[in-house]
Chains A and B, each alone.
Chain A
Amino acid sequence: MTTTITPGLRRTPSPAQTLRNTLTMAYRGLLTIKRTPEQFLDVVAQPILFTILFTFLFGGAIAGDTTSYLTFLIPGILVQSIITAAVATGAGLREDMNSGVFDRFHTLPIARIAPLAGALLIDTLRYTITAITTFLAGLALGYRPDGGLSAMVGAALLVIGCAWALSWVFAFLGIISRTPEALQGIATFVLYPLTLLSGAFVPIDTMPDWLQTAAHLNPLTYLVSAARELLNTGVIGTDFVLSILAAMAIVIVFAPLSVRAYKRNT
């Protein structure tokens, strides 16, 4: 091919540019949150609401009193809230792709991956806020984890990391589904049973055998147990390692799938 490169033009974006573009896209995400704060409500309001509701609703029945139930519940709420927030990655991505602005991005000489990478970056921030809110709600109600502050940071990081991995799944679903609503529907359908079956709110050993089997096949179960173990005893156990392995497996499978679907569909 006899292509001559006009001076000053690049054939591909440099890694520095990719990073810069990603940060700009994340900045755009921040501006969007500022403009439509109600979008952010679920991230903040949901953990508070569920913590209060479940504590007083189930506390007495399951653990005898609310304070001992908090020890059980907070790790569960942490996982539930952040995983729910991960759905927004896919929904937001689909909404963007359906709007005109995405095509504009693709006519600009920017790293093609930047819109996706920026969205994932901003989601990490959302997860962090959810984690902090959950802990604050728990602490306000009398939750005092034995693991202390370092365990709370560790558990938050673990759950954020796993949610980030899971957001690749939702990103993929977002790219292949036609509307944000469709994705939301699928996600609710999948996540509800998964969270309820993870031992986030009720101990698994009270379930019938067949349900216990299902619970042990559920990856979220390991994540909830790992967070619970770390928070309440300060120990990083097998479940912690298993959760991280599962998260890595998800990223290894879904990141390339998402990127490929994304490049094909945009």
Chain B
Amino acid sequence: MQAHQLTKTFGDHRAVDGLDLDIRAGSIYGLLGPNGSGKTTTVRMLATLSAPDSGSARIFGHDVVADAHLVRQLIAVTGQYASVDERLSATENLVIFARLLGLTRAAARRRAAELLEEFDLTEAAGRALSTFSGGMRRRLDLAASLIVRPPLIFLDEPTTGLDPRNRTRMWAIIRRLVEQGSTVLLTTQYLEEADQLADRIMVIEQGRAIADDTPDQLKASVGRSVLILRPQDRAALDGVRQRAEALLGTRATISPEAGRVSVPLADPGTVTDLLNDLRRNGLRLSELSVQKPTLDEVFLTLTGHAAEPHDRTAHTTTQDSTP
């Protein structure tokens, strides 16, 4: 799959702004970005649901606009928008999609039963969808995409809103798809998810690619985990900061309202020294944790806004409010 300078504008808002994509067959490609970064718009264009304003995309050599019907025979889409019929049961949904895909009545029934079995939904087969849990809904959404094994599968935020157990389960399903020979384009807001699944990750922000790399390279560029220290006494905040900077050699920041100090961790081995040092200086801690780089850090590093508010909670708010 290749896309060249894909662009989509809504009003004066450039939702997707000149995106180039190159996805190798048989791999999982992760499109990583916050809400409103253009992930869904990109998938919708690639999946023939909306036409790009400019630029082009080809799937297995077929243009997504000129040969939309052809492309649709090669793809499957699962996302919040491309879902199932609320008013029908799980079996009825799958049978209808199977019939639309050209299966005979008997074959459609058989395939629906197989998929329900495979996705652990057999017991809920005849139930109204309104009784389905979030995890069950996602599994049914995905099952509906896999009636015929399409060579390219778009998964738009397949795990957003799922609990950890269901998320892990979904990941296993996605891995299995690729083992069976499909190519997957996955969008996600979670760095961890992209890291776990994707062979290559594109980070997008405001419709623009700000990185396109392997997960390892990407994390290396973001750098380190962050050590969070919360002193028992708020008055000790500054003291803790000074010691941390002295011993870890990186710039620490204080978030007074949270009563804690954050300090990037260049070498985890040095933490012991810092802890010993703090005790010697009588700076007692009430809490200690290590935070792995999050999507926020990826953005901050990649967009170069890293020098802005250093408070980690503030980062989160800043990111969320980004249109």
Contacts and interface: CB of A to CB of B under 8 A. Distances in A.
Given A31-B92, A101-B83, A108 B67 contact: no
Interface string B72-113: 111111011111111111001000110111100000000000
Contact of B66 (A3, A100, A114): A3
Given A6-B60, A24-B96, A101 B69 contact: no
Interface stretch (A9-17, A80-88, A143-151, A227-235): A9-17
Given A1-B63, A6-B61, 17 more contacts: A3-B67, A5-B62, A6-B60, A20-B99, A21-B100, A27-B99, A31-B92, A35-B128, A100-B80, A101-B86, A107-B47, A107-B75, A107-B76, A108-B72, A109-B101, A110-B101, A114-B100
A101 B100 contact: no
Contacts of B75: 107
A24 B147 CA distance: 16
B66 A103 contact: no
The 5 closest A-B pairs by CB, nearest first: A100-B83, A109-B72, A109-B73, A104-B82, A107-B77
Range of interface residues on B (Cβ < 8 Å): 35 or more
Contacts of A9: 70, 73-74
A106 B48 contact: yes
A84 B278 CA distance: 80
A113 to B, nearest CB: 12
Interface of A: 1, 3-6, 9-13, 17, 20-21, 24-25, 27-28, 31-32, 35-36, 99-101, 103-110, 114
Contacts of B87: 32, 35-36
Main secondary structure of the interface of B (DSSP, over half): loop
A193 to B, nearest CB: 33
Contacts of B73: 9-10, 109
Contacts of A13: 69
B144 interface: yes
Contact of A1 (B66, B99, B100): B66
B49 interface: yes
B69 A11 contact: yes
Contacts of A108: 72, 97, 100-101
B70 to A, nearest CB: 5
Contact of A11 (B70, B92, B102, B144): B70
Given A3-B63, A27-B99, A32-B87, A107 B69 contact: no
A104 B88 contact: no
A27 B96 contact: yes
B75 to A, nearest CB: 7
B168 to A, nearest CB: 25
A40 to B, nearest CB: 13
